[in-house]
Structures are given as C-alpha cells and as structure tokens.
C-alpha cells in the first residue's frame, strides 16, 4: 500500500503514515468495525503509547490515525475552538506524520477530531466525527467494579443510571448533570457521550455522520453509525432539557449556539461568545454582529480584520 510510505514534510522515513504501524491500525479498525456493528457497546482494544500524555486525546488520535487517508481533510477542535493547545498540537501531529490537508472549516473537513463539543453546523454523511473520551464507562462512579458494570451492560440492567439522576433532582431540584449526560443508544446500550455538554446530546441523535469514540487510557472504542437513535435518559416528570442562555454571542449575535462565558475584568464585566469558533467567524463574515464585536475582536475573521 502506498500509505506505508512516509509522507512527512522533511522527507524522513522514520515514521509510518499517520504515525501508527499498519498492524496496529488493522487492530484498531477491527475494533471500530465491531463498535459500529454494536452501537454503544464498548469494544476493548490494545491501546498504544502515543507521543502525548494520557488525557490529551490519545484515544481519539489512535482512532483518527486508523481511519485517515492521504486524501482526507482534518479539522481538530478543543471545546469547539480550532486554536487551543490540544487542537493545534493534534492538527500539527497529523499534518506532520500523515501530510494531510487541515482546515478550520467544518464544512470542508472529512474527519473532525473533537474534545468536548460537536460543531454547530450540521454534519454530512461523508464526514466522520472522532471523540476523545476520558472515561467510557457511564456506570463507573456508581459501580466501581468493572466485572459488575460489564454484566450490567450485558443484561441491560440500567436502573442504577437513574439513581444518579434521582440523586441530582433530590439535591438540586433538577437534573444537574450538564456534561457527560448518559444516553440510551438504539434502545439497547447506555453510553457516556464523552464530556460534551448536554447541549450537544440532541445532535448525536440521527446524525448523518459516523461518530467514533476513542478512550486511550481505558483502551475502549465505541461508535454510533449514521442515523442511530440516541436518547438522553430522564424521568417522566423531569424531562431532558438542554442549556439556554439569556445573552447572545458578543461577537456574532448567535442565540442558537453553545456560549462560553468570558470574564473581562475584575469589575464583574463579562461577555458570552460561541464556543464553536468556526461557526462564529462564519457568521461574522456573513455580516452578523454581536454587541461586543468591535471592542473585543475574537475569532479568526475578526483577528484578520484587526491585523489589516
């Protein structure tokens, strides 16, 4: 295969295409196929040491390395942003080891690796979304025994998951879990959607793109094939709800996207901006303006405008 030849920028032949050797990629692909065949089921795989610490997306990187080809275009986001440390270093990693094209545009990417967010723009059938997962087991904090949680998955004993939600309501008056909100996949497996905000849970349902989840330290892979039913767990009298904001995005004025709060000074001033930087800058390019646009130029388009 031509992919076995090194593509690194300086022409060195020390690394295989996309860092991992072909046998490792085969092993990961087998796990991925099994994961796609059983949506929501955690498939163990022989996770490798990666040249980055656990917790920095080693699982996602291995999955991306196993599915990426020379013609792919990669986008990497961290909390929705393309320009944060984790996103920048992983994007550079694949630019260097696989020589693939990278982009910050959601629409142009064929593979999107993400930590903690799903892009606001609707994904298509020809795209793959790869999640970095720290703890794949949704039952972990209620039942620490791995033997027991596997049995509970096998026998579909998921009452315990509701014990957690019950406890939330008893303590806070509402379901206070805001991220890693448990979902039921295809009416069968309860799955941890990785620490994405629950705002993104509805996007997982019936998504056109293939969704792959990789947990490096825990050595588990799971997946959601395109158009899979994903339902957030709830109670009849306390239905699932997503976060809402009173403010709009300070830069682009969006009211339908996930907003991050930014503290501006020690006088209590703050602003809200889209966590998805690409979505925000696209809206700004299209002429949308938020109340703080000229004072605080964030986002790519605004930065470029400021540089001129």
Partner 1 sequence: MTQMSNPLLRVDNLTMMYGDRVGCKDVSFELRPGEVLGIVGESGSGKSTLLRSISAQQEPTKGTVQYNTRIDGVCDVYQMSEAQRRLLMRTDWAFVHQNPRDGLRMNVSAGANIGERLMAIGDRHYGNIRSNADAWLGKVEIASERLDDLPSTFSGGMQQRLQIARNLVTSPRLVFMDEPTGGLDVSVQARLLDLLRGLVHDLNLAVIIVTHDLAVARLLSHRLMVMQQGKVIEHGLTDQVLDDPQHPYTQLLVSSILQN
Residue 162 found at the interface with partner 1 (CB under 8 A)? yes
Catalytic residue among 60, 80, 216, 252: 252
Q: Quick one: tokens of 205? A: 């349902």
Catalytic residue among 47, 60, 80, 249: 249
Cα–Cα–Cα angle for 80, 85, 90, nearest 5°? 85
Residue 40 known to be catalytic: yes
CA separation for the pair 130, 65 (Å, rounded):
11
CA separation for the pair 14, 290 (Å, rounded):
49
Buried b (16+ CB within 10 A) or exposed e, 153-163: beeeebeebee
Pick the binder of partner 1 from 10, 13, 126, 159 (CB under 8 A): 159
3-state helix, strand, coil in the chain (%, to 5): 30, 20, 55
Catalytic residue among 57, 60, 274, 290: 274
Window contacting partner 1 (CB under 8 A); options: 26-34, 178-186, 220-228, 235-243: 235-243
Residue 245 found at the interface with partner 1 (CB under 8 A)? no
Window contacting partner 1 (CB under 8 A); options: 59-67, 124-132, 169-177, 268-276: 169-177
Residue 155 found at the interface with partner 1 (CB under 8 A)? yes
The phi-psi region of residue 79 (left if phi > 0; otherwise alpha if psi is between -120 and 50; otherwise beta) is left
Cα–Cα separations (whole angstroms), residue 145 to 141, 193, 221: 10, 20, 19
Residue 170 found at the interface with partner 1 (CB under 8 A)? yes
Pick the binder of partner 1 from 124, 206, 208, 235 (CB under 8 A): 235
Q: DSSP label at 2?
A: G
Q: Please state the closest distance from residue 172 (CB atom) to partner 1, in A.
A: 11
Residue 249 known to be catalytic: yes
Residue 169 found at the interface with partner 1 (CB under 8 A)? yes
CA separation for the pair 184, 166 (Å, rounded):
17
Q: Quick one: tokens of 285? A: 């390019």
CA separation for the pair 29, 223 (Å, rounded):
12
Per-position x/- string for 113-152, each x denoting binding to partner 1 as judged by CB under 8 A, each - no binding: -----------------------------x--------x-
Window contacting partner 1 (CB under 8 A); options: 58-66, 127-135, 231-239, 257-265: 231-239
Enumerate binding residues for partner 1 (CB under 8 A): 142, 151, 155, 157, 159-160, 162-164, 166-167, 169-171, 234-238
Positions annotated as catalytic residues are: 40, 249, 252, 274, 280
């Amino acid at each position: 295969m031509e992919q076995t030849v090194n593509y690194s920028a300086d022409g060195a032949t020390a690394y295989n295409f996309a860092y991992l050797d072909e046998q490792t990629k085969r092993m990961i692909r087998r796990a991925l196929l099994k994961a796609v065949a059983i949506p929501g089921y955690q498939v163990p795989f022989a996770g490798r040491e990666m040249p980055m610490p656990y917790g920095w997306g080693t699982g996602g990187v291995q999955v991306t390395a196993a599915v990426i080809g020379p013609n792919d275009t990669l986008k990497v986001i961290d909390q929705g942003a393309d320009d944060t440390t984790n996103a920048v270093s992983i994007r550079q990693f694949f630019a260097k080891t696989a020589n693939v094209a990278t982009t910050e545009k959601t629409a142009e990417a064929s593979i999107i690796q993400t930590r903690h967010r799903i892009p606001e723009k609707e994904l298509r059938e020809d795209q793959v979304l790869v999640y970095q997962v720290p703890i794949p087991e949704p039952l972990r904090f209620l039942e620490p025994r791995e033997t027991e949680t596997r049995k509970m998955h096998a026998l579909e004993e998921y009452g315990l998951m509701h014990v957690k939600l019950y406890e939330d309501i008893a303590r806070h008056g509402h379901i206070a879990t805001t991220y890693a909100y448990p979902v039921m996949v295809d009416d069968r497996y309860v799955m941890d959607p990785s620490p994405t905000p629950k705002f993104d849970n509805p996007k997982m349902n019936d998504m056109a793109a293939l969704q792959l989840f990789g947990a490096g330290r825990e050595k588990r892979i799971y997946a959601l094939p395109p158009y899979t039913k994903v339902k957030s767990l709830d109670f009849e009298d306390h239905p699932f709800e997503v976060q809402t904001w009173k403010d709009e995005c300070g830069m682009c004025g969006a009211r339908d996207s996930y907003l991050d709060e930014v503290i501006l000074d020690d006088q209590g001033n703050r602003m809200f901006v889209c966590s998805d930087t690409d979505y925000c800058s696209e809206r700004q390019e299209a002429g949308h303006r938020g109340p703080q646009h000229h004072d605080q130029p964030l986002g790519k388009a605004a930065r470029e405008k400021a540089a001129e």
